[in-house]
Structure 1
Amino acid sequence: MRSFDVKQMLLEKDILLEAGTNELEVLVFSLDGRPYGINVAKVREVISPPTVHRMPSSHESVEGAFRLRDRVIPLINLARFLGMESSVAPKDSRIVVTEFNSVLNSFRVDDVRRIYRVSWDHIEPLPSIPEFSDTPITAVTRIDDVITPMLDFEMIVDRIHAFSGLRPEITPVTDAGHRQGRHIAIAEDSVTVQQLISDTLTTAGYENVVIFNNGLSLWEWLEAQAADGPETLSDRIDVVIADIEMPRMDGLHLTKRVREHPVLGGLPIIIFSSLITPDNLKKGKSVGATMQISKPELFHVVTILDDLLSGRVAEEEARATSSMPARSG
């Protein structure tokens, strides 16, 4: 089984990113001759087609599973999921092995082209209209003068597995008076995750929740809230929750800009991402994130908000205890 380690290739080319640069590396692959992109931070490696063992009663897009260094990994036929035809024979395809939300998955694609460094400024979110609500695409960019969609792999995995570990039991509360007056702003580009976190917070009693599908829109909104100075800021915003990878401005760059702002600088910021790795934990701390949690830990968000906003956990203590969940899957 021939493979190449994407992270090692980046190290050799010396193109790994520093925190807060508002850039990402995009692995471009093809399906039926068309280019698509995935954030390299989600990619473990790319391998040639392995021997696959079929799994009964699985989703029609799941070809089966294979073993890779003592890990059993499901294989998803990406073209089949998207209702497309593959343009190559299975033996000539490539398998993109991913790791996000602390879980390994893999996707069969026709070909892998190369890695590009792209500024989030050049990645545009899809319009927030009902027609695009079920589209497994978070954004589009232009690479080598060709429009390249960025697929929403979190939505794809969530739909295929039905239970992805993201969906907590949401229990309505009867006494949420201490939460109702709080204001929370969220930046998250995945429609699936937007709905999950919104349902979780509003059911828990956090009713004043505003959601943006990219980091730049949230940043511009925050600047507007700070325009009248620190005296009125607490009446408008109490905490920010931000994904890492987002169009226009990523969560790390957003955090850096908030910390540098004379009025917004003390605002608690929770990084809520599928990419909470040891490396990203360091990056988050370096730009001043208050807390960093992985998306499968969604059930912790309400408790963390309660502790932060009640003062039970001080800002400095919260930063010191930011942690990554144990690896699973």
Structure 2
Amino acid sequence: MNEQAGRLAERAQLVGGNRMELLLFHLRGRQSYGINVFKVKEILPCPQLTNLPHHGAIVRGVASIRGETISVVDLGMAIGLPPVKSLDDSVVIVTEYNRVTQGFLVSKVDKIVNLNWKDVHPPPKATGKDNYLTAVTELNGTMIEIIDVEKVISKVHPVNERVSKGVVDDTLKLISSKYHVVVVDDSGVARNQVIRCLDEVGVQTTGLTNGLEALRYLRSIADSGKEVEDEVLMIISDIEMPEMDGYTLTTEIRSDPDLSRIQILLHTSLSGIFNEAMVKKVGANDFLAKYDADELARKVVNRINSLQQVEPA
């Protein structure tokens, strides 16, 4: 087994155990920030940047990295902080989110830490809705703020949230409103993208912020005496979430007789090859890389159509 395959196997065990690796870094000052190591392709000293006209101020320029032209965003500016003090002393974290390779300019990279998602929590309500955090955690008495990178990227690379004409036909729209989809994602931007897409399909939606919240919601339906699979068409869940990730949520659902028949679609920006293996391991029904409105809508449409074929007229 080569080094890359070995590292992949290690990460599969890590994520399957409701654990994560967090890359810690600094922007300005002593505050520590983090992003999931799974999204990081490489870390390098800031290369030469070429300015681009007609780009927002947060895009400091583009760089040629391993033959690929990548835009570099000043991550501090993107979340409302001052820019890095000096490009010469700064670092670029090259990431892959939502099928886009993106560079983030930071002042300093610290280290990688291994955490349990149980120790990672939603940001305090006092931070408000306009913050750029998906979660917070504490390490050796230091508060770590985990950045909502999908929210940052949406400012630089807006996605098309509209479903193309013909993906959802008029006949389906006549029946889709009786179906209910649960959407689970800690990023408010990503969660609302999915909900807006499903609005065009015509289904009802409930948006939740992490796996633990979703599990409690589903069990509350079961505890009320209702058949959960009759009440929920499917769950569309992110993987990386505070308190309980999507893999652990899937495992918990499959081990609960009252919930085990629910359809689960894991919807994430993590590596497709890696996730296809994990989908089989934990028992999810399907996997879809973020974000394509038409692909997502088709998954829901196909699920409705499959039920229509077996339900009595």
The answer, yes or no, to whether TM exceeds 0.5 is yes
Matches within 5 A, 1:113-262: 113-126=110-123, 132-161=128-157, 163=158, 165-169=159-163, 174-175=170-171, 176-206=173-203, 208-227=204-223, 232-262=227-257
Q: Shift of residue 228 of structure 1?
A: 5.1
Q: Could you tell me whether the CA contact under 8 Å between 1:31 and 1:109 is conserved in 2?
A: yes
Q: Shift of residue 260 of structure 1?
A: 1.1
Q: Could you tell me whether the CA contact under 8 Å between 1:276 and 1:292 is conserved in 2?
A: no
Q: Shift of residue 233 of structure 1?
A: 2.4
| Equivalence for 1:56 | 53
Q: Shift of residue 126 of structure 1?
A: 2.7
In the alignment, the residues of structure 2 paired with residue 101 and residue 31 of structure 1 have an alpha-carbon distance, to the nearest angstrom, of 23
Q: Percent identity?
A: 27
In the alignment, the residues of structure 1 paired with residue 160 and residue 215 of structure 2 have an alpha-carbon distance, to the nearest angstrom, of 26
3-state SS of paired residue (2:227): helix
In the alignment, is residue 311 of structure 1 matched against residue 301 of structure 2? no
| Equivalence for 2:97 | 100
Q: Shift of residue 136 of structure 1?
A: 1.3
Q: Could you tell me whether the CA contact under 8 Å between 1:173 and 1:203 is conserved in 2?
A: no
Of the three residues 79, 93, 105, the one matched with 1:82 is 79
3-state SS of paired residue (2:231): coil
**TM-score under structure 1 length normalisation:** 0.84
Q: Deviations over 1:120-165 (max 9, x none)?
A: 1111113568x7222111111112211111101111011123x2x3
Length, aligned pairs only? 301
| Equivalence for 2:37 | 40
In the alignment, the residues of structure 1 paired with residue 57 and residue 84 of structure 2 have an alpha-carbon distance, to the nearest angstrom, of 19
Of the three residues 250, 257, 264, the one matched with 1:269 is 264
> Structure 1 residues 195-204 or 248-257, which shifts more?
195-204
3-state SS of paired residue (2:60): strand
Q: Shift of residue 227 of structure 1?
A: 2.4
Query: What one-letter code is carried by the residue in structure 1 that aligns with 2:35?
Result: I
Change (3 A) 1:312 1:72: farther
Q: Unmatched 5+ residue regions in structure 2? A: none
In the alignment, the residues of structure 2 paired with residue 194 and residue 151 of structure 1 have an alpha-carbon distance, to the nearest angstrom, of 15
3-state SS of paired residue (2:241): coil
In the alignment, the residues of structure 2 paired with residue 313 and residue 146 of structure 1 have an alpha-carbon distance, to the nearest angstrom, of 53
Q: Shift of residue 91 of structure 1?
A: 1.3
Query: What one-letter code is carried by the residue in structure 1 that aligns with 2:184?
Result: A
Q: Deviations over 1:230-250 (max 9, x none)?
A: x63234222111001111111
3-state SS of paired residue (2:260): coil
Q: Could you tell me whether the CA contact under 8 Å between 1:255 and 1:287 is conserved in 2?
A: yes
Q: Unmatched 5+ residue regions in structure 1? A: 1-6, 315-329
In the alignment, the residues of structure 2 paired with residue 46 and residue 296 of structure 1 have an alpha-carbon distance, to the nearest angstrom, of 25
> Structure 1 residues 166-175 or 241-250, which shifts more?
166-175
3-state SS of paired residue (2:25): strand
3-state SS of paired residue (2:130): coil
Q: Shift of residue 15 of structure 1?
A: 5.3
Change (3 A) 1:71 1:87: closer
- Computed over aligned residues only, the root mean square deviation of the Cα atoms, in angstroms, reads 2.5
In the alignment, the residues of structure 1 paired with residue 273 and residue 104 of structure 2 have an alpha-carbon distance, to the nearest angstrom, of 24
Q: Could you tell me whether the CA contact under 8 Å between 1:25 and 1:116 is conserved in 2?
A: yes
Change (3 A) 1:128 1:222: farther
Q: Deviations over 1:241-284 (max 9, x none)?
A: 10011111111111111111112111100011111421122112
Change (3 A) 1:146 1:265: same
Q: Could you tell me whether the CA contact under 8 Å between 2:40 and 2:94 is conserved in 1?
A: yes
3-state SS of paired residue (1:104): strand
**TM-score under structure 2 length normalisation:** 0.88
Q: Shift of residue 103 of structure 1?
A: 1.2
Q: Shift of residue 20 of structure 1?
A: 2.5
3-state SS of paired residue (1:283): helix
3-state SS of paired residue (2:248): helix
In the alignment, the residues of structure 2 paired with residue 85 and residue 181 of structure 1 have an alpha-carbon distance, to the nearest angstrom, of 49
